[in-house]
Chain A
């Protein structure tokens, strides 16, 4: 019975046998090499010299090029193709609105930007930017003839609300951390909220039915956030009397003061006009009820003049918090009056 060991011994013997190649002496190897080198035309190379450092450096550079740079180039190419296409899609999606094929691309891009934002300040500004986009989208949808536009506007306004609250939350966090960029961010966000209000004022006339409620919701959100932003500005000014917050507070106060004064005067004028119209248009019982209502509104509005004056005095004395609190109270009253006046104007107009 042949064992594996027997076979191995046979192979050991066979190593020397010519039938298995035998011994290939150096002379024979050299002779065969001479023949081969002659056939391929490279001449004799029997005298060997060591390769120099230059040869190895060249080799390693070549290897680096093929093993590292080429894959890197391939990856870069893939990125160029993928993100090149992505950028084209993003550009194309820029003007899309809910319901468009490319709208998800727009939202995905925004999410990606937020993810890559390096600081709370950047995130807050991005949220504010995206809030503005939602308002523009809502405006575009309202002006369109799209089916189901009410639903789309609702979703867009909800997203606007999320974005603007997120911006304000980032600001609050920065303020809490006493981050140096808080003041400048608050200023930027305050300006943004003004832009949003302007856009909403332009949008309101084209809004109809349920869409008017959405516009109102958006306005309410802007007011709420604006109050918080101004509050942050005031606190920043109290803790750090920097030029930027003082100037911004003054500008913000003056702007709001002028805006409220104008709205107050306009509301008083509208109330007066309605009082005159009620005399002629309505039946005696309804007229009496209306006059009573308009009288209350007029009184409430006129009282706001005093509150506005107090706000101005407080501000001049450096009591910023009290001054803005007064402005907020005036704003609430004027807004309520505006809402009631709109309803009464419609009632009187349609009763004729």
Chain B
């Protein structure tokens, strides 16, 4: 990226001035290059978000594309205070629409998953343990409330700062820290129960 003057040392948390510069370029000049920088900044987080919420990776990538197309259209029309807040708001709307209008289809990935038992049996013990841990975490997370799930993924999978998470969920940093702390406590309790039941 070549936004030298305004660039930030941290790639995960875009410098506010740089962000404002890019938003200005998109709004005033419909600058594709500026929009691509925004895309590169947020695409990974958005994709992860969709992968956890949608049935397949293909669905997640479709939803990601839809989200960025909508974001482009929105940025032409209004000034934006919190870009990350806006992107995840659009993303949540996209998920809601997906489940409202989705057709019952069976994707290639789903077919692979269904037939995966045979493949898994030939995996190494480390790989099997890895899969078991990931499945445990996924099950435990799904038992948490939506916000708790999301803040933990952002904080511990995507390494997003508390400040940035606060902007995404429209809370103060203090309230966000407390939410994360409580969520991780609940998660530990759920994991304990899951392990005992195995």
Interface residues of A (CB under 8 A from B): 1-4, 6-8, 10-15, 17-22, 24, 29, 32-33, 35-37, 39-40, 42-43, 45-46, 48-51, 55-56, 59, 62-63
Contact = CB atoms under 8 A, between A and B. Distances in A.
12 contacts: A10-B137, A14-B133, A17-B130, A18-B57, A21-B51, A40-B73, A42-B30, A45-B32, A48-B2, A50-B3, A56-B6, A63-B20
Nearest to B6: A56
B119 interface: no
A69 B67 CA distance: 34
Contact of A20 (B33, B52, B184): B52
A62 to B, nearest CB: 6
A95 B113 CA distance: 92
Interface stretch (B84-92, B93-101, B151-159, B160-168): B151-159
Contacts of B25: 51, 55, 59
A2 B156 contact: no
A7 B65 contact: no
Contact of A21 (B20, B28, B32, B52): B52
Contacts of B20: 59, 63
Contact of B157 (A11, A56, A62): A11
Q: Which of A21, A40, A50 lies at the interface centre, i.e. has the most chain B CB atoms within 10 A of its CB? A: A21
B44 A21 contact: yes
A20 B51 contact: yes
6 closest A-B pairs by beta carbon, nearest first, are A21-B48, A11-B156, A50-B2, A42-B32, A17-B134, A45-B32
B47 A21 contact: yes
Contacts of B28: 62
Interface residues of B, number: 50
B68 A36 contact: yes
Given A14-B134, A37-B32, A2 B69 contact: no
B108 to A, nearest CB: 14
Interface in B54-98: 57, 60-61, 64-65, 68-69, 72-73
Contacts of B73: 40
B187 A7 contact: yes
B195 A2 contact: yes
A7 B65 CA distance: 32
Nearest to B109: A18
A2 B192 contact: yes
Given A14-B137, A32-B61, A43 B32 contact: yes
Contacts of A42: 30, 32, 35, 72
Contacts of B69: 36, 39-40
Contacts of B133: 10, 13-14
A100 to B, nearest CB: 49
B169 interface: no
A19 B191 contact: no
Contacts of B72: 36, 40, 42
